Amino acid sequence: MMKIGLSVLSTPEAQVHTLLRRLKTYGLECAAHEWQDDLTAMAWRAPKATLVNADCAMWAIMGAKAAFRRAETRYGLSLLALCVQSQRGRGFPIVVLQTDDEPFTAQELPTPLQNVTILPAADAGTAAKLVARAHGRSTFIAPPFHLDMVGDPRLGQWLEVRPTAEEWPGIIFGIDEGEIQFQAVGPAGALPATSTLHFPMQGLQIEAGGRTFSAWAVRNPITPESAYFVKLAGMPARLLFGPFSEESTAEMVIIDLQ
């Protein structure tokens, strides 16, 4: 039986059970869990193992539009989406099952979720659409950069950042809120035990997209095999990063997390 992951945001149990019955009729198994906004415990990580597993065909998120307005929820969903997309690619299907009829578009969601499909949860035809989507071919779309949350509640919020093809002559990384606490460079895939930084910089101020970002930087080469790791505190609304450059016109990537 094909499997999908289902995150339930403050939805009455009866509505969830109705959806699960319809999906089971079509031979679609759901690994469902109730979403928790406990950022200290990184509760958003709970379904990660299910979603990154190759036998999971889709991630569905069920809730009313108001549930997607909460900053903590948006932040947690964004971090989970980054984790999933770093392993399953940007083409991995993510579907929002909306439980109310308030107008809602994907463009109202944070950057990692702006390619979602929004479907009415109560519509009798939604189950068939989910089945068709789950059985469709999922294309692995690799972005020009790899961005993944590799920390845990004990180690804290650590992001791994690296290009997927070219080499960067260092990196600049900034946040608009919260605090950068540490940076390191090492082999991709796991936090390094030790790290030697070339010309590390802290406390940089960068203006971009109408926001002021507090940034750190290093000049170590950053490649698909050698990644940049950065520890964050708080709940930044936006990330900024890109290849190191002393030019004020250097192109940077901005990711909305809230």
> What tens digit of pLDDT does each residue of 106-116 get?
999 999 999 99
Average pLDDT over residues 27-46: 94
Domain boundaries, the chain: 2-135, 145-256
d(CA 36, CA 63) in angstroms, rounded, equals 13
pLDDT at 5: 96
Average pLDDT over residues 213-220: 97
Q: Who contacts 171 (Cβ-Cβ below 8 Å, separation ≥6)?
A: 161, 217, 218, 220, 222, 228, 241, 242, 243, 244
pLDDT at 251: 83
Residue 52 above 70 pLDDT? yes
Average pLDDT over residues 61-83: 97
CATH of 2-135, one of 1.10.357.10, 3.40.50.280, 3.30.300.30, 3.30.420.10: 3.40.50.280
Residue 26 above 90 pLDDT? no
145-256: CATH topology: Immunoglobulin-like (2.60.40)
Average pLDDT over residues 230-241: 97
Band (140; pLDDT cuts 50, 70, 90): low
Lowest mean pLDDT among 1-5, 14-18, 29-33, 245-249: 245-249
